[in-house]
Structure 1
Amino acid sequence: MDSAPLRLSPYQDTSFDHGAISRFNAWFFTVLAGQINRYARLHKELAFDGIPPANVVELGAGCGANVGWMPAGVRLYALEPNRRMHDALRKTCSRAGVELVLLPTGAERMPFEDASVDEVVCSLVLCTVGDADAVLAEVGRVLRPGGHFRFVEHIAAPQGGMRGWVQLKIRRPWGWIFEGCDPHRDTLARIEAAGFTSVVAERRKFRRSPFWPVNTAAWGIATR
C-alpha cells in the first residue's frame, strides 16, 4: 500500500447497542450476507469496480458485506455505530487480509480532514441514517477533488404503484426492525442534488430478491 494513513480528527463515539434488535440486525446481515450480495451482485460489481488499493472510507460497514469487493492493499476506514456488528466486521476483514480501522461513530460528522479521502463507499446505508443530506454533505467535504462516492442503495419506488404504496404503509414497523431504515426514501434524488461534479447512476431492481418492498434500487458513482 502506497498511501499514508489518513489523519483522524477527534470524534465522538456515537455507537449503540439496542439489545435484541441490534443482535437481530447483526445476525441478519451476517447470516444473509452472501445471499444479499447475490441479489445485489450486478449493482456492486458496477459501482465498486476500480476501487484502488489505498485508503477507502465505508459508511455503515456492517458485518463486512462489501469487503469482497476491496482489492488487496486496501486500508478500510469503517464507520459503524452498531456495536453488535463489530466482531463480525473484524473477522471478515481479517479473513480477507484487509487492514481495518474501525470507527464506532455515524457518518453525519466524519473524523477526516477536508479533501483528504479518495474513495467513499456505502451500500444499503443512506436509507437508515438519521440525516442523509448531512451525510452527503460530509462525503463532499472529505473527498478530494476528483474523488469518488460509490453507492448501492434501495430507493423509493415510483409513486402510484403497489410497491411504493406498501413502502409507505410499512415505514414505521420496518424502521423499528431495521434500526431506522426508511423503505421509501428518495435517496438517488438526494445524491443528485448534493453538489457533486457528476453523478453516473442507474436505477435497477435487485434480481430475484425475496425482499419485495425494498427491491427498487440504484447504483452509482458520484465524483467530487
Structure 2
Amino acid sequence: MCNNNEQYDYNKHPWIGRFNSWLLAKYEDKIRQETGPMKLKWMKHLQGTVVEIGPGNGINFCYYPAGVKVFAIEPNPSMYGRLRLSAKTAEADIELKENFLEYMNLETSSIDAVVCTMVLCSVTNPEATLKEVLRILKPNGKYIYVEHVAAPKGSMKRKAQNLLFRTWKCLFEGCETNRNTGALLQSAGFSQVDMNRFDSTAMPWLISPNIVGVAIK
C-alpha cells in the first residue's frame, strides 16, 4: 500500500519507477513540441554550472548550450538508461547524481542556475526544496521551471484532482494533482518571479493547468 505521507521509495515500488520512465518516454515528443520553445528561451543563454532536479529521461538536455556543466539529480533508477543516452548526445557536460542529498552538499552561492520541470509536485517538502535552491544559487542566479498546478477552486477539474489525489500520488511517484505550486514559488523568497499560466495539451487532462517561467534569486 502506498503511504501518502512519506518520501517515495523506489526500492519498495520498482515497477512504478519503470512504468513512469516508460510513460514519460511516450509523452516526450508532445512535451517538446509544446514547452520546448519556452524552455529554450531561457536555457539557451545559460552559462557556468547548472543543477537540474529530477531530469527524468533527460528531456531537457538538448536545450543546454555547449560549455555548461550540468549536475543532473535523478532519484528514479529506472530513468538512468534513457538519461545516460540523452546525456551522450547533449552539447553540455552532463554528470548524473543519483541522490537528492547530493545537491544539498553543494556550496552556498555556487550554482549559476537551477532547472526544475514537473518536480515540485512530487517532493515531500517543496518549501524546503526551494529554500535549498535559493541557498545554492549565486546572487541573481536563475530558477527555470515548468510545473502543473491546482485547477481553480470549485472547478470540475479541481474536484477531480481532489478525488483522485491519493491514487494519482501512489501511481506517479508522489505527484500531487492539486498542489498550489505557483503560490509556493511566489512566497519562496526570490527577488523576482516571472510566471506564465497555460493549459497544456500535451499533459493528461487532470494536470493540464501549468505554469512556466524563471525566478531570480
The TM-score normalised by the length of structure 2 is 0.89
Please say if residues 30 and 63 of structure 1, whose CA atoms lie closer than 8 Å, have aligned partners that are also in contact: yes
Q: Identify the range of structure 1 (177-186 vs 15-24) with the bigger mean alpha-carbon deviation.
A: 15-24
Inter-CA distance 190–23: structure 2 relative to 1 (3 Å threshold): same
Query: Could you say which residue in structure 2 is the equivalent of 1:183?
Result: 177
* Cα offset, 1:70, TM superposition: 0.9
| SS at structure 2 position matched to 1:164 | helix
Amino acid at match of 2:107: E
1:136 matched to 2:130? The reply is yes
Please say if residues 146 and 211 of structure 2, whose CA atoms lie closer than 8 Å, have aligned partners that are also in contact: yes
1:27 matched to 2:22? The reply is yes
1:71 matched to 2:65? The reply is yes
1:219 matched to 2:212? The reply is yes
Please say if residues 76 and 101 of structure 1, whose CA atoms lie closer than 8 Å, have aligned partners that are also in contact: yes
Cα RMSD of the aligned pairs, angstroms, is: 1.9
Amino acid at match of 2:186: E
Partner residue of 1:121 out of 110, 115, 118? 115
Distance 2:176 2:65 in 1: 31
* Cα offset, 1:109, TM superposition: 6.0
Question: What runs of 5+ residues in structure 2 fail to find an aligned partner?
Answer: 1-7
1:93 matched to 2:87? The reply is yes
Please say if residues 15 and 104 of structure 1, whose CA atoms lie closer than 8 Å, have aligned partners that are also in contact: no
The TM-score normalised by the length of structure 1 is 0.87
Please say if residues 137 and 194 of structure 1, whose CA atoms lie closer than 8 Å, have aligned partners that are also in contact: yes
* Cα offset, 1:16, TM superposition: 3.4
Deviation string, structure 1 residues 128-157 (Cα, Å, up to 9, x no partner) = 111101100000100011101010100111
Query: Could you say which residue in structure 2 is the equivalent of 1:160?
Result: 154
Aligned residues with identical type, % of pairs = 35
Distance 1:210 1:200 in 2: 22
Distance 1:221 1:142 in 2: 16
Please say if residues 69 and 93 of structure 2, whose CA atoms lie closer than 8 Å, have aligned partners that are also in contact: yes
| SS at structure 1 position matched to 2:113 | strand
Partner residue of 1:196 out of 169, 173, 190? 190
Inter-CA distance 210–122: structure 2 relative to 1 (3 Å threshold): closer
| SS at structure 1 position matched to 2:104 | coil
Deviation string, structure 1 residues 83-107 (Cα, Å, up to 9, x no partner) = 1111211110102243221111126
Please say if residues 127 and 187 of structure 1, whose CA atoms lie closer than 8 Å, have aligned partners that are also in contact: yes
Amino acid at match of 1:148: K
* Structure 1 segments of 4+ aligned residues over 3 angstroms from their partners: 14-17, 45-49
Question: What runs of 5+ residues in structure 1 fail to find an aligned partner?
Answer: 1-13
| SS at structure 2 position matched to 1:172 | helix
Please say if residues 68 and 96 of structure 1, whose CA atoms lie closer than 8 Å, have aligned partners that are also in contact: yes
* Cα offset, 1:210, TM superposition: 5.5
Deviation string, structure 1 residues 142-176 (Cα, Å, up to 9, x no partner) = 00111010101001111011111111111111111
* Cα offset, 1:183, TM superposition: 0.9
* Cα offset, 1:200, TM superposition: 1.0
| SS at structure 1 position matched to 2:135 | helix
